[in-house]
Structure 1
Amino acid sequence: MKNKKDIKGKLNHYTVPRIEEKDILKTISIGYKAMDNKAYKTSLAQLIQEQIRYISFYLWAMQLIAITVTVIFAFNITRPYSEVQQLVFSLSPLIGFLGVPELIKHNLYGMGELEYTCKNSGVKLLVIRLFIIGSLNLVSLTIISSFIYFQHSIPLTQTLIYGLVPFNMINALNLFVYEFFRVRSSNVILSISFVSIIVLNKIAELPFFFTISQTMWMIMFLGTTMFLGFEVYYLLKALKKEAYV
Structure 2
Amino acid sequence: MIEPATSFAAIDQSFFTDRSGGGCIQENKLFCPGWVVDNYDRYVDPTLQHLVLVGSAVVGGFLIAFALAILAHRHRFLQTPFLAGTGILYTIPSISFFFLLLPITGRGPLTAIIALTAFNLQIIFRNITNGLRNVPPNVTEAATGIGMTRSQVLWRVEIPLSMPEIIAGLRIATVSTVALATLAVFANGGGLGTEIVSGSNITFKTGIIVAGSIAVIMAIVFDGVLLLTGKLLAPWQRKRVIT
TM-score normalised by the chain length of structure 1: 0.32
TM-score normalised by the chain length of structure 2: 0.32
The answer to which structure, 1 or 2, has the higher relative contact order (CA under 8 A, 6+ apart) is 2
